[in-house]
Chains A and B, each alone.
Chain A
Amino acid sequence: MTDNTNAISLVDRRRFLKLAGVSSSGLILGATLPNFQPAWADIAGTAAKDKSAAPLNLFVSIAKDNTVSIVCHRSEMGQGIRTGLPQVVADELEADWDLVEVVQGLGDKRYGSQNTDGSRSIRNFYTTMRTMGASARTMLEQAAAQLWSVPVSECQARKHRVHHSASDRSASFGELAELAATQKVPAEDTLVLKTPSNFNYIGKPVATYDTPAIVQGKGVFGQDVILDDMLIASIERAPVLGSKVASVDDSAARKISGVVAIENMDGGIEPPLFHPLSGVAVIATNTWAAMKARKALDIQWTDTSHAGHNSAPFIETLKQRVKQPGKVVTKYGDVASSLADAANTHSATYSVPYLAHASMEPPSATAVVKDDHCEIWACVQVPQGTQQHVANALGLTPEQVKVNVTLLGGGFGRKSKPDFAVEAALLAKKMQRPVKVVWSREDDIRHDYYHAAAASHFEAAMDDGGQVTGWQQRTAFPTISGTFAKGAEHPSNGELSLGFADMPFDIPHRQCETAPAEYEARIGWLRSVSNIQNAFGVCSFADELAHLLKRKPDEFLLELMGEDRHIDPNQGDFEYGNHGASLKDFPLDTARLKQVLAATAAKADLSQKGDHAQKAGEGWGIAVHRSFLSYVGIATKVAVENGRVAIKEMHCVADVGLAVNPDRVESQMEGSMIFGMSLALMGEIGMEKGAVTNSNFHDYPLLRMQQSPKMSVTLLGTEHAPAGVGEPGVPPVAPSITNAIFAACGERIRDLPVNKHLQLA
């Protein structure tokens, strides 16, 4: 932890109330946080150099009526963060969870990073939240000591009261709140954190805070925001990157009742960053009128250099490129000689197509602009990024933009890009009325920031004894850096840190390389990012070698991982990201990876199953992967009958360190398995002439209930510090499926999705 993390201080109450919208009085604490880097900076390799501490604050307040308000400054998108972070504070505070109110933090840089991405909300804020809770608890105990004129060491907070057992007195937190607010804030080194055996909530399956509202349809998402006098906008956007409106005939659209205005949206900017796309917005009194009128627009678009982009030949081109020598990232030993001298070699090339996020809630934002002030309500993962980009578009400062974060109907990385909030702000300014921009499903599928189409190539050298002596891997995909800077053609170190250059096998001669790929469509990070293609390649190729050498894949994998050790992938110009954490605090620990592998194999009882083929037409596949500082193994059983494949079982073993809320960790792993099945079995965005050919769930299908198999989740390693949860379950899913398909029927699927090769049962 950095020095400035826990400078807890009393906070000016009016400022707090203004910031958090809490109506209470009593004790309020703030904590200074270090200035975390936004994830896109990590990945794009453009991290800001300014490490000076942003002064700022997380808050807990205790009202006289006993209500404890805890601010959640991160966005809730289904991962349960509005439960997880507050339950940590509540535990150290000795608060009664039933008296806790969760307040969603506004966008404000004084909170430190609010970018809800990179699977890092818990791992980056766990200790801070504990310290905050402990500080407040200590001040309540000090207040009680003063009230009763007894030593503070004799006062103990327990379940929302402070007790003095010697005199059998106690007082509620609410009764003590005002006096507590006058206490000196304890120095961090004097704080006594609870021992884990005394935890009331940490490590317990506390029920999700928002569930009662959600099951009654009362949760407010971005699409649900309604303001007085509000107009609705539906925007027809340029189908190809860089294209602009050339001409528009809106005469038919204007005749539709309810239409108030039709406005051109400037755009076509490259690099695209988070700028709105060029388009024509229909602004109407209701959503249906806006959508209907939009269909009546006749728009001509300007030509762009991306209009020749076709995804299928593009992927073939990438597959050819990765077979040629590329740019060396890291190099150990002499892989060329090992291949030349090998008794046996094997090579394979894999591909993953473009993928869309397809969160159930299409993006939506509502804005009001008055003079030099803008207020936004939006389902964004990046409230401060939203402030910044809206401010840039309107010519305001970020402080003049107030961002209210609604619930997010899924995010998966799409809502880290606030382009839709900028659209709302620009239109609200033009209309001088509140405007809600409603993205349709077609808008969402066609104008995403896509997961990059990717190709990877592997070559292995083996000796007479069946030992792998050389391993060459090469990858090519349009980099996320291209979203921020023109001309980037090779993956960044950040992207190569996601399961590529940190590949865990102990092979004497190995080399990682990249090949170039053109940036032809908006590219962004999708749940687990490049780990998707990297784990698919690495875990597939290792499985291929196992079968070639007639070894049981799980045993072979254990052997490839070698001795228990900590890997440091840094070499030369390659700086290993380690998901923003130090290798000292979070080593790349093969012992943990091997434990997860062994536990995954045991869960599927693979020791009884030879080469994993169980009987004709059925097979098991296994894959393990470390990402976001967590270690996850997946074992999958498939059945292939008459060319149709069905997933029968899937088991997940995850070492995510301490699970603050094990139920939410399990639910994230369940969701990761289903997310992984969707992308592996049926996920593919196609592009022709630069435009996306998919449009809705009929041609960009997601897994449905009847395709969802029996599944289990096992958590290991809870003695370690908390690590990432939201994303690390996804990467091993696809290779576990294709490995199982090979075991079942001998067909090796190297190009996702599976349904290009086999029908889905």
Chain B
Amino acid sequence: MELTINGKVHQVDVDDDTPLLWALRDELKMTGTKFGCGAGLCGACTIHINGNPARACLTPITAAKGAKITTIEGLSDTGDHPLQQAWVKHNVPQCGYCQSGQLMSAAALLANNPNPSEKDIDSAMSGNLCRCGTYPRIKAAIQDAVQYYNAGEQQEKQGGE
């Protein structure tokens, strides 16, 4: 089966009922997307399918066929997505295990809502658990990233015109 991940086409040979999570982790050795619960309850495996956040553990590989998939490895080339920079600036991660999923949920939020309220952030991030307790910093980092993100988007738009 063909999958388009982070702009590249990959071939995977797995059973049709295989969740995308295991195709990514086992077959493609892309381990940035984490296994936390296998039941869509923790958000550690959050990826983007056509720009929308999805839980890779509950997404059958067949549902990902033909879609544009983005994982943490594809969020930016060099770790310079405004959210990644804000995560570093606020020293957000503790153990770091949930942070791929947190970043992907936050990135989908900003892509769809460039000026999220605190409530919007709570709502978008409510599916992502962090046992270490980095929520206050995640929230602060998202709020901080908003301005850089919008400035970047603005530049991109101007550049495109």
Contact = CB atoms under 8 A, between A and B. Distances in A.
B129 A702 contact: yes
23 contacts: A76-B95, A207-B91, A211-B87, A211-B88, A211-B93, A215-B88, A217-B31, A221-B34, A226-B29, A359-B131, A360-B95, A360-B97, A360-B132, A409-B96, A671-B132, A671-B133, A674-B133, A674-B135, A698-B41, A702-B129, A705-B122, A706-B126, A708-B135
Dominant SS among interface residues on chain B: loop
B98 A360 contact: yes
B97 A667 contact: no
A670 B132 CA distance: 9
B49 interface: no
A64 interface: no
B132 A410 contact: yes
Contacts of A286: 14, 18, 22, 26-27
Contacts of B93: 78, 208, 210-211, 214-215
A704 interface: yes
A223 B21 CA distance: 13
A216 interface: yes
Contacts of B139: 705
Given A215-B88, A674-B135, A210 B96 contact: yes
Nearest to B30: A217
B26 A220 contact: no
Contacts of B30: 217
B114 interface: no
Interface string A132-147: 0000000000000000
A80 B93 CA distance: 9
A78 B95 CA distance: 3
With a 10 A CB-CB cut-off, give which of A215, A410, A696, A702 has the most chain B CB atoms.
A215
Nearest to B83: A215
Nearest to B35: A223
A440 interface: yes
With a 10 A CB-CB cut-off, give which of B31, B71, B98 has the most chain A CB atoms.
B31
Nearest to A222: B97
With a 10 A CB-CB cut-off, give which of A208, A292, A412 has the most chain B CB atoms.
A208
B65 interface: no
Contacts of B18: 286, 288
Given A207-B91, A215-B103, A697 B22 contact: no
B97 A409 contact: yes
A698 B94 contact: no
A62 B4 CA distance: 44
A257 interface: yes
A106 interface: no
Contact of A697 (B25, B37, B95, B99): B37
A659 B137 CA distance: 20
Nearest to A205: B91
A648 to B, nearest CB: 14
A408 interface: yes
Interface string A613-657: 000000000000000000000000000000000000000000000
Contacts of A692: none
B79 A216 contact: yes
Contacts of B123: 706
A212 B36 contact: no
Contacts, number: 190
Contacts of A291: 38
Contacts of A673: 133
A711 B39 CA distance: 30
Give the interface size bracket for B toward A: 35 or more
A289 B14 CA distance: 10
Contacts of A78: 93-96, 132
B100 to A, nearest CB: 5
A81 to B, nearest CB: 11
A211 B91 contact: yes
B42 interface: yes
Given A221-B97, A704-B126, 5 more contacts: A79-B94, A224-B25, A360-B95, A441-B36, A672-B133
Interface in B49-68: none
A663 interface: yes
Contact of A670 (B34, B129, B137): B137
A664 B132 CA distance: 12
B135 A705 contact: yes
Contacts of B134: 667, 670-671
B45 to A, nearest CB: 11
Interface in B1-30: 14-15, 17-19, 22, 25-27, 29-30
Q: 5 closest pairs, A vs B, by CB?
A: A217-B32, A674-B133, A409-B97, A78-B95, A78-B94
A697 B126 contact: no
Contact of B95 (A410, A663, A675): A410
B108 interface: no
A302 B80 CA distance: 56
A219 interface: yes
Contacts of B27: 286
A155 interface: no
A77 B93 CA distance: 11
With a 10 A CB-CB cut-off, give which of B76, B84, B93 has the most chain A CB atoms.
B93
A458 to B, nearest CB: 30
A219 B96 CA distance: 8
B44 to A, nearest CB: 6
Nearest to A257: B15
A673 B135 CA distance: 11
A217 B35 CA distance: 13
A496 interface: no
Contact of A215 (B14, B25, B99): B99
B136 interface: yes
B126 A214 contact: no
B96 A211 contact: yes
